[in-house]
Structure 1
Amino acid sequence: MFKIETYQPLNVLKPIDDTIWLVDGPVIGFRYMGVSLPFPTRMTVIRQNNGDIWLHSPVKISPELKTQIDALGPVRYLIAPNTIHYASIPEWMQAYPAAESFGVAGIAKRAKDNGINIRLDHILDDVADPGWAGEIDQVVVSGSYLTEAVFFHRASRTLILTDLIENFEAHKIKSPIWRFLVRLFGTMDPHGAAPRDMRATFMGYKPALRRAVDQMIAWQPERIILAHGRWYENNAVAELKRAFSWV
């Protein structure tokens, strides 16, 4: 019913810097009030100083994509960054049994409720794992519906968000109804933000969210990678202040 254009080409590494890449994946259907809404997907790939590969919010795996990533280095870390983004973790764990899986609290239960069995080796908190400490910083944002780990890659000065900002481009949305809903949710490019219904779930958590946003700003990122929609290639701090003005 609702259709949206993807960010072609899909399932290929797209360099941002010498040590960080994007992979745009296929559209997935997100169930909302009984309707399947189309969301383009995006994974972030970081090669650490020791050559280890860190994968954030993995998209669906393919043989071609696996070959490209294997050429970068050994996959060590698989990150399920929030309580919505976890569905592809099991297939990546099967492909890379030596990798460690990380996710925020609440994923296992949410996944089980949706018929997905997922094993997390570690729960993410505000302290970076020793495997990437000093290269990738993090802070966890918790609400009544969504818990999300936010990451900052120091070398490329890149902030990595998942659903705390969504930024859909109008010309890619083919359904007038879906285009109207995106505007209603407050997630239309260039003024992307957290969806309005999601913002309401943070009402009792605003002091902690405000501290997390202050930390994101303090990192002074140059760009912001998003999982859904056009990501911000520059003016990252200004976009953060705008997108989280509701906080």
Structure 2
Amino acid sequence: MLEPIDKNIWHAVHHFVAYGVPITSRMTVVCLPDRKLLVHSPIPLTGEMRAQMDALGSVAFIVAPNLMHHLFLGPLAKAYPAAEVYGPNGLRKKRPDLVSLKDLPAAEHAPWLPDLEHMAFEGFPAGKESIWFHRPSATLIVTDLVQCWQDPLPWRATAYALLSGVRHQLAVPRTVRALVRDKQAAARSAKRLLEWPFTRVIVGHNSVVETGSHDLMASALQVF
């Protein structure tokens, strides 16, 4: 089910197993003016979830925020054929089956402005992650770049979080740090990201950080 986070922003969590590790992935739904919905990082669509979204507005945009979070784009695009489907440059090559998929537009020309803004986080070509800021709720939306695994976890997930450096703290996972190819570009992106006046961070895996989020994000990004 979709659960509210703030006015005009909701989330839902999908539980699955990856390489033997129990994990969760979060979908975020933002209601823009004129009741247009943007769905960020889709998860499997249930009948109940679809009824909730249809009651909230019209699904206008479906977004894969990086090269990894794309598995459920197809079913959602099929359910909402009028929606525009976006992903990072390179995803169309990875998913030629998604004929409606378009590259994310330049930030200054995005159709979800002004309520929602996005930027590409540079220096991480394996992910090509986009970062999002919902200005009315002062909410930052990230996917894999930073993580924070706080909930009670099965032992395999706990071990992974500890090894990755994200257990009970907002941090750039060691797995992501190993894939950064241009640290200076990543540092520039980190500086731009921190210019947004966010007070909450929605993380793609496990947590929503509600307290001290800007300072915690600044600390996490010091690795760049």
- Per the TM superposition, whether the score is higher than 0.5 is yes
Deviation for aligned residue 1:133: 1.7
| CA distance in structure 1 between the partners assigned to 2:109 and 2:85 by the alignment | 12
Q: What is the RMSD computed on CA atoms of the aligned residues?
A: 1.7
| CA distance in structure 2 between the partners assigned to 1:130 and 1:81 by the alignment | 14
| CA distance in structure 2 between the partners assigned to 1:234 and 1:213 by the alignment | 20
Name which of 184, 204, 211 aligns with 2:163. Answer: 184
| CA distance in structure 2 between the partners assigned to 1:54 and 1:144 by the alignment | 24
- SS in structure 2 of the partner of residue 245 of structure 1: helix
For structure 1, the 5+ residue unaligned runs are: 1-11
**What are the equivalent positions in structure 2 for 1:104-123 lying under 5 Å apart?**
104-111=88-95, 117-123=97-103
Equivalence for 2:2: 13
| Alignment check: 8 A CA contact 2:63 2:87 kept | yes
Equivalence for 1:74: 58
Aligned letter for 1:212?
A: S
In structure 2, relative to structure 1, the CA distance for the partners of 1:184 and 1:85 (3 Å cut) is: same
Equivalence for 1:91: 75
* Count of residues in correspondence between the two structures: 223
- SS in structure 1 of the partner of residue 160 of structure 2: helix
Indicate the percent of aligned positions where both proteins have the same amino acid.
28
Deviation for aligned residue 1:29: 2.8
| CA distance in structure 1 between the partners assigned to 2:72 and 2:32 by the alignment | 22
| CA distance in structure 2 between the partners assigned to 1:138 and 1:237 by the alignment | 17
- SS in structure 2 of the partner of residue 218 of structure 1: coil
Deviation for aligned residue 1:130: 3.8
Name which of 204, 212, 221 aligns with 1:235. Answer: 212
For structure 2, the 5+ residue unaligned runs are: none
Deviation for aligned residue 1:81: 0.4
| CA distance in structure 1 between the partners assigned to 2:16 and 2:109 by the alignment | 30
Aligned letter for 1:73?
A: G
| CA distance in structure 1 between the partners assigned to 2:199 and 2:71 by the alignment | 29
| CA distance in structure 1 between the partners assigned to 2:26 and 2:160 by the alignment | 21
Name which of 186, 199, 203 aligns with 1:226. Answer: 203
| Alignment check: 8 A CA contact 1:125 1:139 kept | no
Aligned letter for 2:163?
A: L
- SS in structure 2 of the partner of residue 192 of structure 1: coil
Higher mean alpha-carbon deviation, 53-62 vs 211-220, is at 211-220
1:14-51 Cα distance to aligned partner (Å, 9 max, x none) = 112221111122x1233xxxx33222111111111221
| CA distance in structure 2 between the partners assigned to 1:155 and 1:87 by the alignment | 29
1:61-93 Cα distance to aligned partner (Å, 9 max, x none) = 011100000000110000000010000000001
Name which of 13, 37, 49 aligns with 2:21. Answer: 37
Deviation for aligned residue 1:178: 3.8
Aligned letter for 1:29?
A: V
TM-score normalised according to structure 2 size: 0.92
Deviation for aligned residue 1:231: 1.5
| Alignment check: 8 A CA contact 1:29 1:36 kept | yes
| Alignment check: 8 A CA contact 2:92 2:101 kept | no
